Structure 1
Amino acid sequence: MANVLEEESFQKLRQWIILYKDDGAYKVVSKTFSREKASCVTQLLSDGHGKEILSVMEQCSSSPALIDREPLLFAYALCCKSTDKNTKTQAEKLCDKICRTPCDFFQMLKFHKNFSITKSWGRYFKRLISSWYHNQDAYQLARNVSREVSYLGWSHRDVLRMGHLKPKTDEMDLIFKYLVLGLGETKKSFGKSEKESIQKLLEFFSAVDTAKHSDDVQQVAKLVEEHHLKKDHLCTKLLKQKEIWTALLKDMTIQDTLDHIGQLANIGYLDESFEGNQFVIDKLLNEALLTEQNVQPFEIIIASSFYKEGKKKPTSWQHNEKVTKALETALEYSLKNNLKSSNKRYVVGIRVGVNKNKSSVRGTMALSTTTAAAGVAMLMTREEEKTDVVFFTDTITPLKVAKDTKLTDICSEVAEQVKKADEQKEENQPKPEVDDDEEEQDIFYGVLPDPCDLVAPIQWATDQKKDVDVFIIVTDANRSTGSRNLGEAIAQYRKDRNLPNTKLVTVGLTNSNMKFANLEDENMLDVSGFDARVPKVIRTFVSGEY
């Protein structure tokens, strides 16, 4: 029995790390962490399972299911504060594996600082910090620390000074000196060394230093190509030069290219008149590369929305139809090759147009609520064989979404339903009464809320006698106008259809803190906000593969 309980505890730990729910909801932005919210970690630590926790964390760190690294880093910081010597020893060995990048490292330092009463670091933590630097390949470390110099108020210079770190090799001595004293002093100390590894590091840091300070576009572009420098290695003003981006793009993944599409458009790189745009277009049309890099549909949808909308803003850019077509083709390739079916039965319920003050989603300003909802509908229809899509108010309207339906067509249909819902609301509004003795009275009888009964899709499935494994409700509403509670409704549906494991995901596109799910119901999930990771969150929750 004890072993069963322990396995359940470790399963909860994996779920907590991979699908962190803050106050019951997965939050796209503004996640908060505390010991109280990490009870699944603290309880296992108090029971003496520190080494087992770290083993789970090491597995999760390299798992493709991992959505966000913050929960992992928070749990790791807790292990580093453990009073158990074996746990701390194991944590020290894993520092560079858990904190894979300098930003991970700085995030962990921030969590550790929040746990500490004193500002100084003890001997253990200094050893831990030293292990992060020394357990990495020197040249790769040089690339990483020169790219991510500071984050969350921390810098490598701060860490090295506070930790009084002593280099164990000449290569580490050079890297530490560069981070603390700069290139000039480093050259004075190591310029005459005959070691090939030392000269290689000096050459790299010289290239980085030149790239950060030089105004010579051709010189920096050449350095980017020779040393495979990244955007973060360069000074900001050079990022307005097309020649620099031509050099950067050669090493950029499609995901990175999509992330920077607005910046490329803004400097005219994607204009029809600039021939370099063909390089971006060819990359977007490379079906094999899109598949190899596992580019997800919403990464393309968000970039496409940003590119299309950007031309309407004050800092508008010229619209290139070839780029738009390439993005559309890339989306089709991604939908065809990079989706994985769960072989479950879905109902996607959409209700947007309720929150009149917010037309874009929380977490991705480039994405409208209509496009986000339509994108989810398209994704599920392409991914799953059995998916019904409905628009709901306090009644249900099935939407015609087939496997080959384009995103723009779904958006148009959703927009049409929003328009009809608004017209219906106008017709149902109570009219102010006018006294016969007065020509006009300003009497306010109250405005009806926009109808949004979140239970409606569940009730529709019940009435239609549909067996559903997963309900996904996507809305911009902050509350339900129905009389029934979502938790009660899904529990009743499971009972009526004899489907005890039917799951319910409620996505609040503009909501900062969704609170519809019953916290005791493991088959209910709230999502606050939306970004390209949310479809993965839903898939992970549905599959239960933590």
Structure 2
Amino acid sequence: MRKAVSNWYNGQDAMTLATVVAKCKQQSGWSHKDLLKLSHTKPANDGVSLVCKYIMKGWKEIKTEYADKENPEEVLKVLSYLEVVDKIKHSSDETEVITMIEEHALEREHLLTSHLKSRNVWRALLKEMPLRLLMKRLGKMTAKKILDPGSTETQTVCDRIQNEVILKKARIHPFTILVALENYKKGQGYKGKTKWETEGNIIDAMDAAFYKSLTGGDSAEYLEPVDKNLVIAVDISTSLSSVVPGTSLSTAVAAAAITMSFSSTEANTQVLAYSSGALIPCSVAAGMTLEQVTAEMIKTPSDCTDCTLPMAWATENEKAVDVFIILTNNPIWPFSASPVEALKKHRQKMGIFSKFVMCGLTSTGHAIADTPDRGVLSICGFDLGAITLIQNMAHSMI
């Protein structure tokens, strides 16, 4: 672990590392200082050494230490950047703050809370704001009247959001766009303190971005294909009416979006809807809307589910499946047989090492027995990281 952390710091160029450190000094109770102390990192070059000293000592000591030295160009560049980062935290002049934002591409994390009370400061941030953060902050900027209906800022934002070139460069997953869209449509933050009137053009732009990220040009530009035979089986019980924690998405819509993201890149994908005793093939074709896919998957709801059905179906029909992806809200229903045993039967029948992912879209617990089988993965709760885990497992990276 120490080596991995050290390699991360030494693997960055000095300016990139300085930017990361200045934007986020600590997260979840851990600081860069904690990591450097525990990893015993030895800087690989002068630039990384400067940033590490900045982490441990702060700007004042670094400024004094490097003042009389003949520093290489890389070090001078980092010193200049860190000086601006320190200066903006001591400035109360709106014009000066805006100038520093525009000249040095500073972001919201570099600023004080008092700076963010200014609309003009937000407008300056908006010009170079990364697309992922822009989507996340649409509600707050609408609440602060930065994105008023018909304003130049709103039109610029809408153009950026649905620009295919910008979308491809940002490599934002469709699920991330959908979560941001649904959160914006809700009209208020999670704790209800920040509220806003939604703007129709922004909603339309986000909706267009979602479909472009699935099908715009070459979808592989947005999504990394795993090139495997997949079965995506969706629980169609009434439990899918609940909401994915941390989002405004129902589990049914989330399941549809996940299915669409895999179907758009994987040519060999079979989508199934399953319940207590039935298995229904679903038609998920290019050009279908999210609403159409959701309706297709939940047209025959049931009270309980059995996640062994997709594997039994593939075994009986002699369909070679590399990865079974089970999407459900309630994976604790009693099964007619062990999911692990059903998976083993399919492996034996088809002669391949099939894998099984049980993805609970909410944190309700799991009934899958603990198993050392490296081809079985249980995911409790859902976010974009879950999709990465599934892709890695399909690639045999975990």
Matched, 1:373 2:267: no
Matched, 1:232 2:85: no
The answer for the alignment partner of 2:310 in structure 1 is 457
Contact 1:174 1:190 in 2 (8 A): no
SS in 2 for 1:331: helix
TM-score by length of 2: 0.80
Q: CA deviation at 1:507?
A: 0.4
The answer for the alignment partner of 1:350 in structure 2 is 234
Letter in 2 for 1:227: H
The answer for the alignment partner of 1:149 in structure 2 is 25
Distance 1:100 1:249, change over 3 A: farther
Distance 1:238 1:412, change over 3 A: farther
Matched, 1:211 2:88: yes
Letter in 1 for 2:251: T
User: Over alpha carbons, which structure has the higher Rg?
Assistant: 1
Structure 2: state its 5+ residue gaps: none
Q: Distance in 1 between matches of 2:319 and 2:155?
A: 49
**260, 265, 273: which is aligned to 2:137?**
260
Q: CA deviation at 1:545?
A: 4.6
TM-score by length of 1: 0.60
CA-to-aligned-CA distance 1:136-192 (integer Å, 9 cap, x gap) = 63x555444333333454556788999999999899789857964665x77777778
Contact 1:347 1:468 in 2 (8 A): yes
Letter in 2 for 1:385: A
The answer for the alignment partner of 1:49 in structure 2 is none
Contact 1:284 1:330 in 2 (8 A): yes
Letter in 2 for 1:252: M
Distance 1:234 1:353, change over 3 A: farther
Contact 1:517 1:526 in 2 (8 A): no
Contact 1:193 1:199 in 2 (8 A): no
The answer for the alignment partner of 1:501 in structure 2 is 353
Contact 1:311 1:319 in 2 (8 A): no
The answer for the alignment partner of 1:487 in structure 2 is 340
Distance 1:531 1:240, change over 3 A: farther
Q: CA deviation at 1:451?
A: 1.1
Distance 1:321 1:451, change over 3 A: same
Comparing 297-306 with 509-518, greater Cα deviation is found at 509-518
The answer for the alignment partner of 2:387 in structure 1 is 535
Q: Distance in 1 between matches of 2:112 and 2:264?
A: 43
Q: Distance in 2 between matches of 1:509 and 1:164?
A: 39
The answer for the alignment partner of 1:384 in structure 2 is 266
Q: Distance in 2 between matches of 1:482 and 1:164?
A: 50
Q: CA deviation at 1:459?
A: 2.9
Q: Distance in 2 between matches of 1:156 and 1:353?
A: 46
Q: Distance in 2 between matches of 1:100 and 1:482?
A: 50
**Which has the bigger relative contact order, CA under 8 A and spacing at least 6?**
1
Q: Distance in 1 between matches of 2:66 and 2:395?
A: 55
Say what the alpha-carbon RMSD is for the aligned residues: 3.9
Q: Distance in 2 between matches of 1:260 and 1:321?
A: 16
Query: Superposed, which structure 2 residues align to 1:85-96 within 5 Å?
Result: 91=3, 96=6
Q: CA deviation at 1:463?
A: 4.7
Contact 2:358 2:378 in 1 (8 A): yes
Q: Distance in 1 between matches of 2:385 and 2:35?
A: 32
CA-to-aligned-CA distance 1:59-112 (integer Å, 9 cap, x gap) = xxxxxxxxxxxxxxxxx23xxxxxxxxxxxxx4xx75432469xxxxxxxxxxx
Contact 1:258 1:299 in 2 (8 A): no
Q: CA deviation at 1:320?
A: 1.8
Contact 2:13 2:47 in 1 (8 A): no
Structure 1: state its 5+ residue gaps: 1-75, 78-90, 102-134, 422-449
The answer for the alignment partner of 2:199 in structure 1 is 320
Matched, 1:526 2:378: yes
Contact 1:352 1:477 in 2 (8 A): no
Q: CA deviation at 1:374?
A: 0.9
Contact 1:160 1:180 in 2 (8 A): no
